[in-house]
Amino acid sequence: MFKLDDLIVASIRRVYGSLTNELIGKLAEPPRRLYLRVNTLRISRDELIFRLRERGVDAKPDSYVEEAIYIELKGPYKVPKLDKVIYVDRNTAESVMMGSNLYRPGVQKFSSFNKGDEVTVLSPSGEPVAVVETVVSSNEVLGMVKGLVGINKVSKYRAPPIRELPEYVNGLIYSQSLPSMIATKLLEPVWNDFIVDLNAAPGGKSTHVIQLTGSKVKLLSIDRNMKKCLKMKEEFSRLFTGYNVNIIRMDSRYLDRDLYGLENRVDKVIIDPPCSALGVRPKTNPSISGRDMLDLRNYQYQFLKVASRIVRGNGLILYSTCTLTFDENEYNVLQAIRNLNLEPVEVIQPPYSEKIRYGEVVAYRYSPLTYDMPGFFISLLRKK
């Protein structure tokens, strides 16, 4: 089991108590189900499942969410450590561990190898996560900025190459965790809503809003990073859902100041802010510090503040994170309720979740210890 910063462990312990060590141990393992969202604007779930099974992908329908399907992950398998190795960054290690091919941007350092060699891919901590067959030599890698380095031959876990399937390329599916899908559904977007997604990239919740409403909403999707905005635009194009959507590059913490006339006009706001992402599994020795977590907590609260200003009276705010800490979840929501004229909204408990009550907070948590879910937190708030 990897070691987390003491301050982070203490924040998790406020939620999980004596189960904290067991929880941290689960973070190194992926959930057994890989979830996908069916783009029901373009295909029915049954038809997509049929097509995938025709390709040998054993997709199954989720029992509760009508646009959700899942594929059962295989593994864990033992990955040998060969003489030739490539070290990759943490994000790449977590991706290659699940069966993805190896691309240049994640490569950090490597021994000498030739095209066609089998090479072990190592995480930053030296853990073998996959064996790839290289399509270039190590000398060629030195001159590359992007591009394929190796084909995954053996990985710790194995899932179909979703992004290489025609159904993905043609916009029939979107890779998204089940809790993230459920969060958007709890917001209940309806025709003619004016919805602002303050942290929209890579577009999961925004595209889901369009899907749920048949594009009959006014949607403003914001991110401060231009590359992410451009990537989000590509996703809307791939899914053919880019209707009534404005994608804006902006720091949404200052949205009420930078977009005149927005205050008290928005029906619903989505906040899925940058977080410590400790609920995203599998993890390979996260490097985030306790100080980072507290900085993120304060950063996240700024989005709650601006949301409380732009949403109309009786309007809704969806706050969700893919992390496990008390500070980024319960603490932030409690401060919002007490200081921002907001109140919690209690809904029928979503499938696979745990209901949370902490002070005035009512929220819903997904846990690696319950139903083998990723870690995820959802709170729905209403402006008084």
Would you list the DSSP string of 106-164?
Answer: GEEEE----TT-EEEEE-TT--EEEEEEESS-HHHHHT-SSSEEEEEEEESSB---GGG
| Residues 317/378, Cβ–Cβ less than 8 Å | no
Q: Answer yes or no: is 379 within a domain.
A: yes
Q: Is the pLDDT of residue 242 over 80?
A: no
Residue 39 inside a domain? The answer is no
Confirm whether 276 is domain-assigned.
yes
pLDDT recorded at residue 84: 97
Instruction: Show which of 155, 185, 212 is a domain's final residue.
Output: 155
Q: Are 117 and 139 in contact (CB under 8 A)?
A: no
| % of the chain at pLDDT higher than 90 | 93
List, edge to edge, every strand of the sheet that includes 107-110.
102-103, 148-155, 128-134, 118-122, 85-88, 107-110
pLDDT at 1: 64
One domain for residues 202 and 321: yes
Q: Tokens 């880019």, residue?
A: 242
Query: Looking at the predicted structure, is the pLDDT value of residue 2 above 80?
Result: no
Q: Give the model's pLDDT for residue 262.
A: 93
User: pLDDT band for position 241 (50/70/90)?
Assistant: confident
Tens of pLDDT, residue by residue over 325-350, are 999 999 999 999 999 999 999 999 99
Q: Give Dmax (Cα) for the chain.
A: 65
How many domains does the chain divide into? 2
- Give burial (CB, 10 Å; 0-12/13-18/19+) of 276: buried
188 lies in which domain range? 173-383
Residue 106 confidence (pLDDT): 95
Answering whether pTM is above 0.85, one says: yes
What pLDDT, on the 0 to 100 scale, is given for residue 145?
A: 94
Same-domain status, 310 and 193:
yes
Residues with catalytic annotation? 322
Token pair of 107 as six digits: 């490569």
**32 found inside a domain:** no
343's CB contacts (< 8 A; 6+ apart) are 337, 360, 381, 382, 384
For residue 76, say if its preceding peptide bond is cis, omega within 30 degrees of 0.
yes
Domain edge (last residue) among 155, 182, 213:
155
140 lies in some domain: yes
The predicted pLDDT at position 240 comes to 84
Other C-beta atoms within 10 Å of 25: how many? 13
Which pLDDT score, from 0 to 100, does residue 377 have? Answer: 98
pLDDT band at 284 (very low <50, low <70, confident <90, very high): confident
Output the pLDDT for position 366: 98
Report how far residue 44's alpha carbon sits from residue 39's, in angstroms, rounded to the nearest whole number: 8
Task: Identify whether 62 is part of a domain.
Answer: no
Please tell me whether residues 212 and 358 are part of one structural domain: yes
> Do 108 and 234 lie in a common domain?
no
Rounded to an integer, the average pLDDT of 254-268 is 93
Distance spanning both ends of the chain, measured CA to CA = 45
94 shares its domain with 219: no
The answer to whether residue 104 sits within a structural domain is yes
Are the C-beta atoms of residues 92 and 107 closer than 8 Å to each other? yes
Helices (H), the chain: 6-16, 20-26, 45-54, 90-96, 138-142, 166-169, 178-187, 204-213, 226-239, 255-258, 290-310, 332-339
- Report the alpha-carbon distance of residue 235 to residue 150 in Å, rounded: 25
pLDDT tens per residue across span 35-81: 999 999 999 999 999 999 999 999 999 999 999 999 999 999 999 99
Under a CB-based contact definition with an 8 Å cutoff, are residues 129 and 79 in contact? yes
Q: What is the DSSP string of 243-297?
A: SSEEEEES-GGGHHHHSTT-TT-EEEEEE------TTSSS-S-----HHHHHHHH
Integer Cα distance of 140 and 62 in angstroms: 44
Name every residue whose Cβ is closer than 8 Å to that of residue 25 and which is 6 or more positions away in sequence: 1
Mean pLDDT of the chain: 96
- Domain check: are 296 and 373 in the same one? yes
Residues 97 and 242 in one domain: no
| Nearby residues of 241 by Cβ (< 8 Å), 6 or more positions away | 39, 41, 207, 210, 211, 215
pLDDT at 286 over 90: no
